[in-house]
Amino acid sequence: MVETIKCRRRHSSLFRLRQNVWLLGLLVVLAACQGAADAAVNPAPNAASAQDSFWTRAAAPYVGSTLYGISEDSPPSLYVRDVLAPHFAAETGIDVQLHISTIDKIEQIIENGGIGADGQRYDFVYVEQDVVYGYLAHSYLTNVSQLLSAQPALASPDFVLDDFTEFIHAFADPQSGDLYGLPIEAFIKAYLYRTDLFGDPALQKQFVDQYHYPLAPAVTLDQYRDIAEFFTRYGEQNGLALWGTSVQGTTSGVASFYEFFETIAPAFGLYHWGIDLNSYYATEQNGGSLDSQRAVDALTYWVNLLAYAPPESRESDWNDVAATFAAGRVAQGWVYGEHVAWMATDATRSHVVGKVGVALPPTAPGVMEDATIGAGYLGYYDSAAFGIPVDSQNKEAALLWLQYLAQPSIQADWAIKSGRVVHLSTFDDPLVRAQDRRLHGYYSVMKKQGSLFSVAPPFPFHTQVRDV
């Protein structure tokens, strides 16, 4: 009965979202028709200039204005700041100032109506899927669907909602189906391993001699621990700055919470933070599992991995883990996909270029089966969007900016530079296919096996639980 209710809720929500997508699509068609009429009077020499004319025409009332935004320190956001924002300014005359900050400060700004502690008012903000449900409950964000419906002249002909991956649903109100953000990033937290180390014949022989099975990317958690132990010992015996695993174990931020609940817990079959999705209880007595033996085993396993991790792991966040792997200090680890591209291809920043393998994360018995039938998941699929604070004074210009970032034509380069994909068509772009080969199938894993991963549970109390 519970599954039936959940199914009905999901189907009802998706139906409402599809209705809104259809209405928004109609507005886009009308805008395209107007563009065609304009083109008949003033023929455009090519499609590119026609698209330029839309941005120029739509942005005309806002030329000279400045949009202020805030986002986290991540490859996708830095690409927006350094590449896409200047391009948008050149095409529209609207300046974009994207400030980079920390997750906790961004959340405080959103909860304060989009106003920073220094009084700066922000026109667009980084919205993690993890916390969007709380924002919706408190009406912190502008209804993008309604804004676009009220401003049909601002509907870009290149704005195709149907091309977004399923993660666009995460930023829709579950009751109305209206959108409150447009995705800018989506990526898995991947299991990475050093192909040069795993492929070394001498190391392969040593491993077989010690553990009596072949050295290969871990499929089980026991294998992962064995590999971590093996390479840590190998580093010690040979005077190398090499350890067997990364650990995102900082004690001064939220990253360690996410490492455990997004990566380690589901690998043990502890889903949704151990909290029952219907009752919101966490104890076994009330339908939860956070006090279960499985939870104890997961936490014990994770803490014990510190013995095989480099010393900086106790204060490492997600960026630090990527830096540690890129420095060649670990043989394997769980790393957010936004870092995979530069780690595997940028020799100015990484010492492991061409040596980064990608695989599904190791799991306990039964977890893969759960994930395959939708009863569980292997790990985390990150998704984030830009939303417009409800008190923004530049909502129309911000709406143009969000649509600009949603153009299919700009997605491929953004994807190969920062490992994120939010459009279905991006997976098949030649640039992305070529990068996929360089990254040992990273994009293929997202495309073909992304359904085995999950976004954060839909808790309106996400931050309250996380920050206890």
Residue with tokens 């291809």: 345
Q: State the Cα–Cα distance between residues 448 and 124, nearest whole angstrom.
A: 32
- Quick one: fold of 11-186+385-430? D-Maltodextrin-Binding Protein; domain 2 (3.40.190)
For 348, counting Cβ atoms within 10 Å of its Cβ (0-12 exposed, 13-18 middle, 19+ buried), the class is exposed
Sign of the alpha-carbon dihedral angle for 308, 309, 314, 318? negative
Domain spans, the chain: 11-186+385-430, 188-373
pTM: 0.87
Instruction: Walk along the chain (468 residues) and give the pLDDT tens digit of each residue.
Output: 323 323 333 333 433 444 443 344 433 333 443 443 333 333 333 334 445 579 999 999 999 999 999 999 999 999 999 999 999 999 999 999 999 999 999 999 999 999 999 999 999 999 999 999 999 999 999 999 999 999 999 999 989 899 999 989 999 999 999 999 999 999 999 999 999 999 999 999 999 999 999 999 999 999 999 999 999 999 999 999 999 999 999 998 899 999 999 999 999 999 999 999 999 999 999 999 999 999 999 999 999 999 999 999 999 999 999 999 999 999 999 999 999 999 999 999 999 999 999 999 999 999 999 999 999 999 999 999 999 999 999 999 999 999 999 999 999 999 999 999 999 999 999 999 999 999 999 999 999 999 999 999 999 999 999 988
Task: Give, in words, the CATH class of 188-373.
Answer: alpha beta
Tokens matching residue 297: 């085993």
Intrachain domains 11-186+385-430 and 188-373 with the same fold: yes
Strand, coil or helix: 192 = strand
Q: State the Cα–Cα distance between residues 213 and 231, nearest whole angstrom.
A: 15
Residue-wise DSSP of 342-373: HHHH-TTT-S-TT-EEEEPPPB-TTHHHHHHH
